[in-house]
């Protein structure tokens, strides 16, 4: 029986980080150099260019966790998962476990190069993080150019029949003006978009003046242009969903103003094989393939006990380190 806590929460979704390096430098995710006010790579050298676990290790780890937890979803993430040469071998290796959904979160920068291999590897859907469709705003946030390359990647994935959703972190005074253009972009491709509230992680953790743009703020902007109704929330869902009169749906992931800790089912593993039961916990629990199932179950119980009861508190580790 999968481990459960007293609130009946159990792990059903595994977010597995394949690398802690990235080819973008998003201002809310990458460490910030206080002198230059620019984001930069992780201070310590990236643990390795990719996971310290080999693809056979990763495949074994996923298989064992699926046996213990009956996973419903595996999400491959990072850092930027498309930078990892383990991605495609891992995808092929985990097919045999029969996990119902194998998803990926990516910045999309390399999607046009890898979409075909992802499709062949059996990916079931992809979330692309896209915070702006205006080139200058995109560049201000990601510290990179080439927005068009990402858009080409999204279009190719859709052409290949891979379901795509968009994720956009909205920040006050930085990209709130992108909310409507992003919705129009999503509508033009008939794909769902989810807006994320900024989370106080990494260098934002103890900062008092984070440019948070709340769920209520986002809804106010959308209401100036569209009519929509709230949909019932699905159990363990990260996003609250709304539907417009033309059936287009959008979501808001409101970690700060509408946390979903009470039925959270997510387990994270970073690219060194450390497990985290909660984004608000920066206590790593090392998983070792040489340990027996009862040792893993004990560790899974400990990770579950790290989950918050009510609200997200943030963490000194950023998403790029824990795995987003």
- Site residues (CB under 6 A) for ligand SF4, limited to 174-233: none
Q: What is the smallest separation between the CB atom of 80 and ligand SAM, expressed in angstroms?
A: 4
Q: Quick one: 39 or 192, whose CB is closer to ligand SF4?
A: 39
Q: Quick one: 81 or 93, whose CB is closer to ligand SF4?
A: 81
Q: Quick one: 3 or 130, whose CB is closer to ligand SF4?
A: 130
Asked if 149 and 110 touch (Cβ cutoff 8 Å), the reply is no
SS3 237: coil
What angle do the packed helices 179-189 and 147-159 form, to 10 degrees?
30
> E strands, the chain, where?
13-17, 32-33, 38-39, 73-77, 101-106, 125-129, 164-170, 192-197, 228-230, 240-244, 249-253, 266-269, 274-276, 285-286
Listed ranges 18-26, 59-67, 188-196, 275-283: which one lies at the site for ligand SF4 (CB under 6 A): 18-26
Distances (CA, A) of 217 to 46, 112, 162, 262, 314: 36, 34, 32, 24, 21
174 touches, from ligand SF4, ligand SAM, none (C-beta below 5 to 8 Å by class): none
- Given 14, 18, 22, 71, the residue binding ligand SF4 (CB under 6 A): 22
- Site residues (CB under 6 A) for ligand SF4, limited to 52-81: 78-80
SS3 180: helix
Distances (CA, A) of 245 to 62, 232, 239: 41, 16, 19
- Site residues (CB under 6 A) for ligand SF4, limited to 292-321: 319-320
322 touches, from ligand SAM, ligand SF4, none (C-beta below 5 to 8 Å by class): none
Q: Quick one: 16 or 241, whose CB is closer to ligand SAM?
A: 16
Q: By CB under 6 A, name the binding residues for ligand SF4.
A: 22, 24-26, 29-30, 78-80, 107, 129, 319-320
């Amino acid at each position: 029986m999968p481990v459960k806590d007293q609130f009946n929460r159990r792990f059903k979704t595994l977010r597995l980080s394949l690398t802690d390096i990235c080819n973008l430098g998003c201002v809310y995710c990458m460490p910030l150099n206080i002198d230059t006010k620019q984001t930069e790579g992780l201070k310590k050298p990236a643990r390795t260019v990719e996971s310290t676990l080999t693809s056979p290790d990763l495949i074994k780890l996923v298989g064992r966790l699926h046996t213990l937890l009956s996973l419903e979803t595996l999400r491959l993430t990072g850092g930027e998962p498309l930078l990892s040469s383990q991605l495609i071998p891992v995808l092929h290796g985990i097919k045999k476990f029969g996990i119902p959904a194998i998803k990926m979160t990516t910045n999309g920068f390399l999607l046009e190069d890898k979409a075909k291999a992802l499709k062949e590897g059996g990916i079931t859907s992809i979330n692309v993080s896209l915070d702006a469709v205006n080139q200058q705003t995109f560049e201000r946030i990601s510290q990179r150019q080439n927005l068009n390359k990402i858009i080409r990647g999204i279009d190719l994935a859709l052409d290949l029949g891979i379901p795509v959703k968009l994720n956009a972190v909205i920040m006050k005074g930085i990209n709130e003006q992108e909310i409507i253009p992003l919705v129009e972009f999503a509508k033009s491709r008939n794909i769902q978009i989810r807006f994320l509230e900024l989370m106080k992680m990494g260098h934002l953790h103890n900062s008092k003046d984070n440019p948070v743009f709340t769920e209520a703020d986002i809804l106010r902007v959308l209401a100036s242009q569209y009519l929509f109704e709230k949909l019932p929330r699905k159990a363990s869902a990260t996003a609250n969903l709304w539907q417009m009169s033309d059936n287009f749906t959008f979501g808001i992931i409101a970690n700060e103003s509408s946390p979903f800790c009470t039925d959270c089912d997510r387990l994270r593993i970073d690219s060194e094989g450390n497990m985290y039961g909660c984004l608000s916990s920066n206590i790593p629990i090392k998983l070792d393939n040489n340990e027996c199932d009862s040792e893993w179950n004990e560790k899974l119980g400990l990770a579950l006990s790290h989950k918050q009861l009510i609200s997200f508190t943030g963490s000194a580790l950023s998403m790029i380190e824990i795995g987003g």
